Amino acid sequence: MVQGEIQKKKGRNARKVATWGGASVATAALLAACGSTSSTTATTAASSSSSTSSFQATHFTTNLKGICPDPLVVQTNWLPEPDHGALWELIGSAGTMHQYTYTGPLGSTGIKMEIIAGGPGDNYLPEPTALYTGNPVVRVTPDLGMGSLDTAIQLSKQFPVVGVVSLQEHDPLVLISDPKTIPSLATISDIIAQANKGVHFYVSSLQTAYVQYLIAKGVPESAFIGGYAGDLAKFATGGGSIVQQGYATSEVYNLEHTTPVWDKPVNFNFISSYGMNDYDEVIEVPKTKLSAMSACLTKLVPMIQQAEVDYIQSPGTVNTVLNKFNSGGFGASYWSTSPAYSSAAVAVMLKYDLVGNSQGGAGPIGGLNLTRVSQNISSLVPIYASQQSTTYMSGVTASDVATNQFINSSIKLPG
């Protein structure tokens, strides 16, 4: 069986599938709120230690008691994976595992932190929605969420959020192709040429932001096939006529190493290379709570920056915890993060500067380039307007959805 068939409900790509228009987003939220409650009863299992990990205790020492919520609840955009490593680094191996949650002391700061898995852990809500409507599975309203800025722009009126630190410098979203049949997809012109030859692009939804962007740039809408949910069989058996949406940190490895009917090299091109360089792993706060959370974020954001540096330099402990969580049944049966998978993901993050310092390497890790955000707004808002969307704020600017107010400019990834 193709690895992707086992993972066919995989929703990591659901980060990008919020639909255009208020009705669709509202419907998604309503369906999530009315979803099955079979996952709301948590199954508890402790990790290797319930006390503070020694590294975290001596490394994250800024007092947060009485300054940040306790526990500090953070909603992620998918099941636990290396892309979330910085958050898990803040707890280390000292957390307790429940269904969809990992809770433990945040170093010796005086507070606890709870990480909630996305995907099935929040009924696949668009990223900012849970911060306002609450998580319908775990039944708690997170203090912070992890999401993409294209979704923050899209929902800037309905569920306004502000990104305060990014766990990745570049979006890992890619188009994957068979190198034997498609020599190049380096440009949008290459995509159009392949579409005209009958190649199809298997994506999560035709309403996904980058798909709408490519259509607006001239790629025929008929070239896209919606419905991708982690299944790799269509690509593997497509004879080179299918281009697959995926992530450089995930599907590429699975196709090359864990998909028996394929298990050979693939080509991949980053969506960012086509002119839409989104931020995909941004820690966000509801705009309505930004002022109240400012004292907390001033102290917390530099810790997240440092945790990203620590994780990417020495990922072994966190990768072991991720594997234990996912293989232990606390996430979803179709999702796994073996040590080899996680090690490969970290290598890809470093090789392609997915995790790196901002400003072309000169700036701090985690910083947000507001000029880049403005460029994405200029590309996306005309699409929203043409589709008469009511979810985005008229006149939305980069400073409405992102800020570097809390970034410590001295924290960088060495080298």
Write the CATH number for 294. 3.40.190.10
CATH of the domain at 245: 3.40.190
Averaged pLDDT, 86-106: 98
Which one of 237, 253, 274 terminates a domain? 274
Averaged pLDDT, 272-297: 97
Claim to verify: residue 302 and residue 387 sit in the same structural domain: yes
In a domain, 205, yes or no: yes
In a domain, 412, yes or no: no
Claim to verify: residue 185 and residue 81 sit in the same structural domain: no
Task: Measure the CA–CA gap between 181 and 230, rounded to whole angstroms.
Answer: 22
Residues 6+ apart with CB under 8 A from 37: none
Claim to verify: residue 150 and residue 180 sit in the same structural domain: no
Predicted pLDDT of residue 121: 97
Q: Specify the higher pLDDT residue, 166 or 54.
A: 166
Predicted pLDDT of residue 209: 92
In a domain, 295, yes or no: yes
In a domain, 18, yes or no: no
Claim to verify: residue 291 and residue 383 sit in the same structural domain: yes
The answer on pLDDT for 160 being more than 50 is yes
> Are 76 and 114 within 8 A, CB to CB?
no
Claim to verify: residue 266 and residue 295 sit in the same structural domain: no
Identify the top-confidence range among 33-47, 227-241, 392-406.
Answer: 392-406
In a domain, 16, yes or no: no
> To the nearest whole percent, how much of the chain has pLDDT over 90?
85
Predicted pLDDT of residue 16: 41
Which one of 274, 293, 328 terminates a domain? 274
Claim to verify: residue 54 and residue 113 sit in the same structural domain: yes
CA distances to 168, 212, 385, 400 from 203, rounded to whole Å, are 22, 11, 23, 29
Centre a 10 Å sphere on the Cβ of residue 197 and count the other Cβ atoms it contains.
11
Sorting pLDDT into bands at 50, 70 and 90, what band is 70? very high
Claim to verify: residue 227 and residue 149 sit in the same structural domain: no
Claim to verify: residue 181 and residue 208 sit in the same structural domain: yes
DSSP-derived secondary structure for 346-391:
HHHHHHTTSS-BTGGGTS-BT---HHHHHHHHHHHHHHHHHTT-SS
Claim to verify: residue 313 and residue 394 sit in the same structural domain: yes
The answer on pLDDT for 398 being more than 90 is yes
In a domain, 118, yes or no: yes
Which one of 259, 274, 289 terminates a domain? 274
Predicted pLDDT of residue 229: 86
Phi, psi of 307 (to 5 degrees): -65, -35
Claim to verify: residue 203 and residue 151 sit in the same structural domain: no
Averaged pLDDT, 249-274: 96
Averaged pLDDT, 103-131: 96
Sorting pLDDT into bands at 50, 70 and 90, what band is 230? confident
In a domain, 15, yes or no: no
The answer on pLDDT for 25 being more than 60 is no
> To the nearest whole percent, how much of the chain has pLDDT over 70?
87
Predicted pLDDT of residue 53: 81
The total of structural domains in the chain comes to: 2
Predicted pLDDT of residue 73: 98
pLDDT tens, 318-329? 999 999 999 999
The answer on pLDDT for 26 being more than 60 is no
CA distances to 247, 304, 321, 322, 391 from 345, rounded to whole Å, are 10, 19, 15, 13, 34
In a domain, 411, yes or no: no
Q: Residue 119 belongs to what domain range?
A: 27-168+279-337+350-401
Claim to verify: residue 97 and residue 182 sit in the same structural domain: no
Claim to verify: residue 110 and residue 143 sit in the same structural domain: yes
Confidence (pTM): 0.89
